[in-house]
Structure formats: structure tokens, C-alpha cells
Amino acid sequence: GSQALNLYTISSPLATQLPQASGTAYALKRRGEDACVVCYFGDGAASEGDFHAALNFAATLECPVIFFCRNNGWAISTPAHEQFRGDGIISRAAGYGMRGLRVDGNDMLAVYEATKVAREYAVSESRPIIVEAMTYRRSHHSSSDDSTTYREKDELVWWQQNNDPVARIRLYLESRGLWDSEQEAELKIALKKKTMQSLANAEKLPKPPIEDLFTDVYKEMPKRLREQQEDLEAHIRKYASEYDVSNFKS
């Protein structure tokens, strides 16, 4: 996250960012700020209870927030047609009394324009809006997921060859004389070098203090967590030869 850039840190729990976005947008409204919140989530998160709570609060309190759904057709291994029977996520907007936009999520310029329009509406009208970007998840859901067990390889190949957003924008720029293969090759080399250097620098940094596992959740640590922390510390002391904690901050 970044306070300077108004970016919240990404968290693992599914859909928790949605009600947080509604609350933050309501705070912006109460302070009279000329701004809005944009909250990104997937089609799978739209099946969570937090989705309903967030949109209903945002609608009734007229909060300036953009609910941006990246509908890639899959919630891990669950296809969209097994998640809902409606027309995607955009069809739910009317039920909440909200506006909605659907856009080609693989068209970078279209997504930019849709976001721009949504922001203008949210700020000027102080109301929520849903943007649904129709796209496709080409990769696995995570490093522990093998999507070839629930979808055909031919399907992945088709999207890669026919509707790759990176390839589309590159071809568009090349058609305008703004990009070429030589620049493409140079950029890839530079980005790889920068990425590897950043990785090397990050690996040299000390790890967070072990106690952060327990102190970074509640303002006042409950008894059960104190006991767990004490148990872990005792375990590490007992088996000190098995645990190298020299690279952790103290």
C-alpha cells in the first residue's frame, strides 16, 4: 500500500475490500472531498456476502465509489455459469438502484475511458457505479493451482493467440508508428534486469519481527494470542539449532 498514492494494501480474504471501500467513500463524502474510491474485485468475490452489504450501503448512503469487477470467467476452478444465472455482474446494478458500465477488459484504452466516465459520475453525482470488465484469466489462479485440470488447453491457446491485451495494445501502437519490435526487445531486457535487481535487493532486507505475527492484528492483543506468542518463543528457544532467526528484525 501507499498512503501518498492513496492505495490500500492487498489482502488475502475474499471480498473484504468491498465494504471497506463503501465506508471510505462515505468518509470522503462526509468530508466534502472532490474524490471517489475505486475498488477492484473478481467475479468470484461478487458471490460473497460482503458484496451485497457493500453495494447496498453504498447505494443507500449515496457513496462516491466505483465497484470495478474484473470478470475473467473463473472463480479459481468454478466457471461463471456455475456461480450465477444472471447476465454477469452488471445486471445486478439495477437491483441496487445503481448505474453500470460494461467494457472490453482486454482493451486498455476502452478500460481507461470507462474508468474515466465512471469517476466523473461518482464524483459529480456522489453516487456508486459498477464497472464490469469482461476479460479472461489466462494463467493459473495461483502458484498452487493447475488450471489444466478443469479447462482445456485449447481454450487457453485461443485467448493467447486471439485476444491478448498486451499484444492488442502493442499492435495498436505499431500501427500508429509509436512502437516497433526493436523497442519491444529493448524494453523486455531492461524490465528483466530491473526486476532481477529489485528481487536481489529485497532478498537482502531483514525479515519482519516474528512478533508481528501476533501484534499486527489487534490494537490490544487478546490473551489467546499472547499465549500463542509465548508458546512459539519457547519452542524456538528449545530448538534454537533448528531455527535461524538472525535475519529477522528484533
The catalytic site residues sit at: 137, 141, 150
Helices (H), the chain: 17-31, 49-60, 80-83, 108-125, 153-162, 165-175, 181-204, 212-215, 223-238
Residue pair 80/137 in contact by the 8 Å Cβ criterion = no
230-237, long-range: CB < 8 A, 24+ apart:
236/210
Q: Of 52, 61, 65, which is closest to residue 24 (Cα–Cα)? A: 65
Residue 192 one-letter amino acid:
K
Residue pair 131/46 in contact by the 8 Å Cβ criterion = no
Nine-digit cell string for 21: 471501500
Helices (H), 71-208: 80-83, 108-125, 153-162, 165-175, 181-204
Count other C-beta atoms under 10 Å from residue 227's C-beta.
11
